[in-house]
Structure 1
């Protein structure tokens, strides 16, 4: 069992969990910063978690929900306050309503995750700080201690099972719900490089081309909230298809970390999607995660059946050759 102790301290209004793991700090750190990995152990065994946003940077946010055996969802969020690479991060941890807004009826905590190397691996200390004794007792009565023990019982196996998965340099799509799909790619490049590659016209025209045989003939980028973008591609031969393009607007932006945009296929009546891109620095490069929200399950399946993922992988492989 990774958890070595749980200390409830009414005097300091804190609840502290100590745990030890037989892996390097870097491995455990990345398990917490990668949405694909943390959702494998953040919830108790019977209440698996799904993260729909997880941008681990000051000013960033994480949105997640846990699903009960009966299918009921319990939502939560993090607001990222401070991050010191492979040392600690601090978040404001709260409960949320189904629409993602904070649930003011339940406590929020200032929670610090500290990672310390040991001769055997890593010591993880999680300290939740409360505003009152009443809030501390309320969370304990809700089962936080048992839930944390249950969640952490899964981490060791996750660290083993996902070691290769976490370092896979290929585009992967995961269905999160009837309307949401997360597309992930670990790109060999710095976060600054990968961010610029998605916002600088000349770079985009060199790599964002999909399979061989296409060229980007129009590229109008959007840099700030409210800006609109427009991309258009033409085939080098009519035998491989007809020209197509996308347009949309920036809804939210946290430079080099997170961007939420709309996307609409030009000259079609296909419904628009909302795309949330997160850029996370890792030892091996930059983890790019894009959560796409479709209007319905039919549109989701129709788009996935077009070979979109293969086209994206061809583009990312081209980007890596440039970086």
Structure 2
């Protein structure tokens, strides 16, 4: 995790973030000055940002919207007041409405500096607030922890995607007691991977877990509010009992993101929140699944079923049978 320190300074009405990044200053600069790269880490997990406008000039403006797992949104704007490539820049940051008009309160002046360090780059960002009320509001909204979780995504951005994930299989990260992140790089374009998740005839070919299982139901959701239903049963002498999942779609942003609820068929609880996102670079697609569990016991119970191993078998089949043709 790159963040080494977050300091709240009520006396000077500031919050300062320090991160040590294993990449040269020029590479870090590109991550902060390219909206497509910023989108991968500016919002915390579950709240990815989309930059609709990015005029990276003094006096220029950037507009972004973070979309939560239930479709809720929070929008902001940067006005660039100083740019010193590649050493840093300064913005006036503000919450905005749907038309990009700044809202009362919540405005701050943010500075970003990038300096060479023993590990690569030390990034320091400081948000300066106009009042104690504004500072306290941001702390209460979870800015400190949200920033820490957002910055934890930066390592993957700074590395070549294939260097970061290729050949490492399905990886599980325990983010906290109720959130896990699962990642898998597949060698194929995002459009095809999205189709594999959204077309029944394709999904039936790969989403099978270990060998010896068949998908018997494959009803997919294509828009928010749609329900879905997946079922599997063992084939031949394979041990096990038929089972399935069902739920509804909350966010559908093709071919980038889908958020769904999930529960075992016939059981009202427990329900998880599954946030799937796809990112393509150099012809490969990073699949990221952020799962929210209702509690720690449920998280550990589900992970103990061998879920990750089953996912790896499915992803390997996805590459072998759909992406390598």
Same fold (TM > 0.5): yes
Q: 1:79 to 1:234 in 2, by over 3 A?
A: same
CA shift in 2, pair 1:109/1:241, >3 Å: same
Preserved contact between residue 111 and residue 126 of structure 1 (Cα < 8 Å): no
Separation in 2 of the partners of 1:229 and 1:178?
27
TM alignment of 1:134-153, pairs within 5 A: 139-140=108-109, 144-145=110-111, 152=123
- Name the counterpart of 1:242: 241
- Establish whether residue 320 from structure 1 lines up as the match of residue 299 from structure 2: no
Residue of structure 2 in register with 1:3 after alignment: none
Q: 3-state SS of the aligned residue for 2:266?
A: coil
Unaligned stretches of 5+ residues in structure 2: 1-22, 56-60, 95-101, 116-120, 125-150
Between the aligned partners of 1:297 and 1:265, the Cα distance in structure 2 is: 18
Name 2:211's counterpart in structure 1.
212
Paired residue secondary structure (1:51): coil
Structure-1 separation of matches of 2:105 and 2:123: 23
RMSD: 4.3
**Alignment counterpart, residue 51 of structure 2, candidates 80, 88, 91:** 80
TM-score normalised by L of structure 1: 0.61
Task: Look up the match of 2:91.
Answer: 128
Distance 1:125 1:190, change over 3 A: farther
Q: How many residues align?
A: 244
Equivalent residues in 2 for 1:144-163, closer than 5 Å = 144-145=110-111, 152=123, 158=155
Contact 1:169 1:187 (8 Å CA) reproduced: no
Contact kept in structure 2, 1:167 and 1:284, CA below 8 Å: no
Query: How far apart are the structure 2 equivalents of 1:160 and 1:254?
Result: 21
Q: Distance in 2 between matches of 1:187 and 1:110?
A: 35
Q: 2:214 aligns to what SS in structure 1?
A: strand
Deviation of 1:167 after TM superposition, in Å, equals 3.7
Query: Does the C-alpha gap of structure 1 residues 23 and 166 become closer, same or farther in structure 2, counting only changes over 3 Å?
Result: farther
Q: Segments of 4+ in structure 1 off by > 4 A?
A: 22-31, 100-103, 122-127, 129-132, 146-151, 157-163
Q: Is the 8 A contact 2:31 2:158 kept in 1?
A: no
- Deviation track 1:170-206 (CA, whole Å, cap 9, x = no partner) reads 2111111211111111121111101110011110110
List per-residue Cα deviations over 1:16-42 (Å, max 9, x = no partner).
xxx97355999997994685xx4xxx7
CA contact (8 A) 1:262 1:273 kept: yes
